[in-house]
Chains A and B, each alone.
Chain A
Amino acid sequence: MARVASLQNIRMTPTAQSARLWEQLRTYLGRGSGAYAFFGLYAAICTWQLFTNPRTSLRTDIFFVLFLLLVFMVYRSATPLWFRGGLTAVLLVVVMPIFGTLNPFYIDVATQAGIFVALALGLNVVVGFAGLLDLGYVAFFAVGAYLWAILSTPQITQINPAWSPVPPIMFYPFVVLGLVIGAVFGILLGLPVLRLRGDYLAIVTLGFGEVIRVLANNLDRPINITNGSQGIREIERPPLILTNFIRETLGWNLSDSQLYQQFFYFVVLLIVIFTVVVVSRLKNSRIGRAWEAIREDETAAVAQGIPRVRMKLMAFAVGASFAGAMGVVFASKQLFINPPTFDLLRSINILAMVILGGMGSIPGSILGAVIVTLLDLQILPRMATVLRDAQRAGVPIPAAFDPTQYQRLLFGILLVLMMIFRPQGILPDERRSEELHAGDEPPSEEEAPPAARAAAESS
C-alpha cells in the first residue's frame, strides 16, 4: 500500500494537512491489523457484489475494476508475504474463476488483460530496462500466433499436402516453442539493427513490424503459407482437462466454452506469473544492471566491460520470447487470426501500457497493461453506450463519434500527455534501497582498505 503513493498523489493533489492525514491512513492500511481488516473487508464486499450481481452493467464494471485494483493493492502492500500471497491467490484463483462462470465477459477481459500484462512486461525489458524503443514488438506476437495457427490447422497442408496438422495436445510444447521462436526472431531482428542509435532503431523496428504484417498479408502466394488477408480460422485448442472432475465431482455443469474460458484464464495466469518472476530476477541481476547501464550511458557501459551488442540482443530475445509464447496462447484462445490483428496500433498500444505504468517498472507495466486493456474492452464501450444515450437525449455529439473507434486519439493523447507531464509513468521504477539496507552492516573503515586491496589483487 505504501508504495502506491505516487499513484494516489496525482489524483489527490491535497493540501499539506490532508496529505499528512492521507499518509497516516495509508501507512495504517498498508501494514498490520489495519491492513488485514481493510483488505479483508474490501475483498469480502467486492466478492459478494460480484457474485450476487454478475450481470454486465455499469455497476458490475465498477466493482470489477475495484476488484482488480484490490488485487493490485494487495500485491503491492507492505503486509507479510503469507497474507499478500494468500489473498492474491484466493482472489485470482478462486474468486475470479467463479465469477467467470457467472459472467463470461469479465473473465475474458481478465484473460486479455493477462495476455497484455505479459506483453507489456516483455516490451518493458526492451524499452524500459535496455532503453531500446521497439515499435515493432507485435511482430513477435504475430510470429508465435502464426506458428500455432499454421501448424495446428489444415493450413499446413496448403504448404505441403503431405504434411498434416499437429495434434491439439501439442499446444503445450508449442507454448515453449513459441518462447524459443520468439527469442530467435528477436535475435534475427536485433543482429542487424542493434548498433543503431535510439531513434533510428525505433523507426527500423517499426519498419520490421510492418514487414512482418505485409508478409502475413501476402504470403498466400506463390505458396499459401499464411492464407493472406483472409487469416486463419478454426485454430485448435488443446483438449480440455479436468472436465470430469469439474462436472461430476464438483457438480458444476459448465459448458465446453465456459471450461475453455477457465482454461485459458489459468494458462495466461501461469504465464504471467512466470513472466513476472523471470523479469524481476533478471532485473536484479548482473544482466539487468548491464541493461540499465546501457540505457543510461552506452559508452560508459562498454567501458565497464559490458558487451553492448550481446546484452542488447539478450534484451531483444527475452522480450520477444514472452510475446512469442503469448502469441501461441492468443491464437488458440481467439480461434481466428488475421494480419490486422498485428498492426502498428497494437505495438503502440503495448508501448502505451509500458509508458503509462512507467518505463523500467515491473508493477508499472502490469498496472499499465490492465488499465489500457480495461479502457479498450470495457471503459470505451461503456462510454460509447453512455454517449449514445446522451445523443438520444439531444446532447450535440457528432454521430460519427464512437469512443471505441477512437483508440488512436485516446492513446495519442495519452502518449503526449505522459511525455510532457509524467514521463516516468504513474508507478515509476524505484531504487531498491530497502533491500540493500536490510541485514548487512556497513564494513568498518579500518578493515576496508585491506579488503579492497584483496579485491583488486585477486584479478
Chain B
Amino acid sequence: MTSNILEARNVTKTFGGLVAVNDVTLTVEKGRIVSVIGPNGAGKTTFFNILTGIYKPDKGTVIFDGTSIAGNRPDIIAALGMRRTFQNIRLFDNMTVLENVLVGMHTHLHAPFWQIVTRAAGVRREEARARQKARELLAYVGLDEKRDDLAKNLPYGDQRRLEIARALAGQPKLILLDEPTAGMNPHETDAATELIRRLRDELGLTVVLIEHDMRLVMAISERITVLDYGTKIAEGDAAAIRSNPRVIEAYLGKGAAGAAA
C-alpha cells in the first residue's frame, strides 16, 4: 500500500494519426499539489480527459485510490472521488449558482425515486441538508451572495470559482484543475492561488493542476510534470524544472536552451 492517490502508467491516446498523449506516467502522492505544464497542444487536457474517463486510453493503466479505473465511465470515476474543472468553463448555464453546486453533490444524495415522488420526510431533510452544505461551499469560495444568479450571468472569475465549488461539492479526494486562472487578471490570479492552497491546507485535498502561469506554478506546486508533444519530458520540483534545458527548449524553442544554459 503506497500513499499514492493516483498512479497513471504508460498512458497513450491517439486521434487518427496524432499521438496526443504518448506513454505518460504520473504518480501523485496524497495531499500534494502537483502541476502539469507544457505548451499548447501538448496533451495536458487530453491526459485529464483520460484520467476522468471522458476518453478511453489506447494503452496504459490508471489506479485511483487503489482502484483501477482506466476505461471506466466518467460518472463512476467521479463517484469514486475524482472531480475536475474544465479549461473552457462548462457550467450549467441556465441553472442557478446554488443549483450548480447541488448538481455537484449528486453522488452524495440518495433519495430514492418513490420517496421523492411522495416527498417523504427523509427526502426533505436530505434536501435541506444539501442546500445548507451547498451554501457553505459557496461561502467558502465567496459566492454565497450570488447563489440565485444564473451561472451564465456570473463574471468570468466567478465562473471559475463556481466550477471549483461544484467540484468540491462531490467531496473529492482528488481535484483536477484545468487552467484555473486562464483569462484572469493578476489580482484574480492571486486570489485563485490562495484558494487552491486552501483546498489542500484546509480541506486536505490532493490537487493536480494544469497551468500556464509560471509564477503560480512555481509558487505552489510541490512537483511539476512537463509534457511536450504528448510526451513527458521532465519531472521534478520547481527548481529542477526551471533549470531543465529540455523544458526551456520546449517553451522557447531550440537555441534558447543553449543561451539559457
- Give the interface centre of B79, B111, B203 by most chain A CB atoms within 10 Å: B203
When each residue 439-459 of chain A gets 1 if its CB lies under 8 Å from chain B and 0 otherwise, what string results?
010110100110111011111
Contact between chains at B93 and A296 (CB < 8 Å):
yes
Known: A289-B95, A296-B94. A303 touches B119 (CB 8 A): no
Set of chain B residues within 8 Å of A290, measured between Cβ atoms: 103, 106
Binds B, one of A28-36, A116-124, A247-255, A306-314: A306-314
The CA-CA distance from A307 to B75 in the complex, in Å, is 6
Contact between chains at A457 and B203 (CB < 8 Å):
yes
Contact between chains at B204 and A431 (CB < 8 Å):
no
Which of A287, A302, A304, A456 is within 8 Å of B205, CB to CB?
A456
Is B102 interfacial (CB 8 A cutoff)? yes
Contact between chains at A442 and B171 (CB < 8 Å):
no
Contact between chains at A456 and B104 (CB < 8 Å):
no
Set of chain A residues within 8 Å of B54, measured between Cβ atoms: 299, 302-303
Set of chain A residues within 8 Å of B103, measured between Cβ atoms: 289-290, 292-293, 301, 304, 306
Measured between C-beta atoms, what is the minimum distance from B53 to chain A in Å? 8
Set of chain B residues within 8 Å of A451, measured between Cβ atoms: 133, 136
Is B15 interfacial (CB 8 A cutoff)? no
Known: A286-B111, A437-B148, A456-B204. A300 touches B133 (CB 8 A): no
Is B9 interfacial (CB 8 A cutoff)? no
Contact between chains at A305 and B106 (CB < 8 Å):
yes
B89 to chain A: closest residue by CB: A300
Measured between C-beta atoms, what is the minimum distance from B154 to chain A in Å? 14
- Give the interface centre of B74, B83, B109 by most chain A CB atoms within 10 Å: B74
Is B117 interfacial (CB 8 A cutoff)? yes
Is A59 interfacial (CB 8 A cutoff)? no
Known: A289-B95, A292-B92, A453-B202. A433 touches B78 (CB 8 A): no
Contact between chains at B95 and A296 (CB < 8 Å):
yes
Known: A286-B111, A292-B92, A443-B144. A456 touches B79 (CB 8 A): no
Is A278 interfacial (CB 8 A cutoff)? yes
The CA-CA distance from A457 to B31 in the complex, in Å, is 13
Is B45 interfacial (CB 8 A cutoff)? no
Is A282 interfacial (CB 8 A cutoff)? yes
Task: Please classify the interface of chain A as helix (H, G, I), strand (E, B), loop, or mixed, using the class held by over half of its residues.
Answer: helix
Contact between chains at B117 and A306 (CB < 8 Å):
no
Which of A289, A308, A458 is within 8 Å of B171, CB to CB?
A458
Set of chain A residues within 8 Å of B106, measured between Cβ atoms: 286, 289-290, 293, 304-306
The CA-CA distance from A308 to B137 in the complex, in Å, is 25
The CA-CA distance from A26 to B30 in the complex, in Å, is 59
Is B90 interfacial (CB 8 A cutoff)? yes
Contact between chains at B102 and A436 (CB < 8 Å):
no
A300 to chain B: closest residue by CB: B90
Is B135 interfacial (CB 8 A cutoff)? yes
B105 to chain A: closest residue by CB: A286
Measured between C-beta atoms, what is the minimum distance from A278 to chain B in Å? 5
Give the residues from 420 to 436 in chain A that come closer than 8 angstroms, CB to CB, to chain B. Answer: 431, 433, 436
Is A285 interfacial (CB 8 A cutoff)? yes
Give the residues from 224 to 250 in chain B that come closer than 8 angstroms, CB to CB, to chain A. Answer: none
The CA-CA distance from A434 to B54 in the complex, in Å, is 37
B165 to chain A: closest residue by CB: A452
The CA-CA distance from A305 to B94 in the complex, in Å, is 19
Contact between chains at A436 and B147 (CB < 8 Å):
yes
Contact between chains at A299 and B90 (CB < 8 Å):
yes
Contact between chains at B99 and A278 (CB < 8 Å):
no
B90 to chain A: closest residue by CB: A300
Measured between C-beta atoms, what is the minimum distance from A31 to chain B in Å? 21
Known: A305-B170, A440-B132, A457-B203. A293 touches B95 (CB 8 A): yes
Set of chain A residues within 8 Å of B202, measured between Cβ atoms: 449, 452-453
- A-side interface residues, number (CB < 8 Å): 42
Measured between C-beta atoms, what is the minimum distance from A401 to chain B in Å? 41
Set of chain B residues within 8 Å of A300, measured between Cβ atoms: 86, 90-92
Give the residues from 303 to 327 in chain A that come closer than 8 angstroms, CB to CB, to chain B. Answer: 303-308, 314
Set of chain A residues within 8 Å of B90, measured between Cβ atoms: 297, 299-300, 303
Set of chain A residues within 8 Å of B95, measured between Cβ atoms: 289, 292-293, 296, 431
Known: A289-B95, A304-B103. A448 touches B52 (CB 8 A): no
When each residue 161-174 of chain B gets 1 if its CB lies under 8 Å from chain A and 0 otherwise, what string results?
00000101111110
A439 to chain B: closest residue by CB: B128
The CA-CA distance from A205 to B130 in the complex, in Å, is 36
Is B127 interfacial (CB 8 A cutoff)? yes
A432 to chain B: closest residue by CB: B96
Set of chain A residues within 8 Å of B133, measured between Cβ atoms: 451, 455
Set of chain B residues within 8 Å of A292, measured between Cβ atoms: 92, 94-95, 99, 103
B104 to chain A: closest residue by CB: A304
Is A281 interfacial (CB 8 A cutoff)? yes
The CA-CA distance from A297 to B52 in the complex, in Å, is 16
The CA-CA distance from A299 to B52 in the complex, in Å, is 11
The CA-CA distance from A452 to B169 in the complex, in Å, is 9
Set of chain A residues within 8 Å of B94, measured between Cβ atoms: 292, 296
The CA-CA distance from A445 to B144 in the complex, in Å, is 10
Contact between chains at B99 and A289 (CB < 8 Å):
yes
Contact between chains at A448 and B132 (CB < 8 Å):
no
Seed contacts A286-B111, A304-B83, A304-B166; 16 additional CB < 8 Å A-B pairs: A286-B109, A289-B103, A290-B103, A290-B106, A293-B103, A299-B54, A299-B90, A300-B92, A302-B78, A303-B90, A304-B104, A304-B170, A431-B96, A431-B148, A443-B144, A455-B133
Interchain residue pairs with CB less than 8 A apart (26): A285-B123, A286-B102, A286-B116, A286-B130, A287-B113, A289-B102, A289-B103, A293-B95, A302-B74, A302-B75, A302-B78, A303-B74, A303-B78, A304-B83, A304-B103, A308-B75, A314-B113, A440-B131, A442-B135, A448-B136, A452-B136, A452-B137, A452-B203, A453-B202, A455-B137, A456-B168
- 5 nearest A-B pairs in the assembled complex, by CB-CB distance: A305-B78, A305-B107, A459-B171, A433-B148, A296-B92
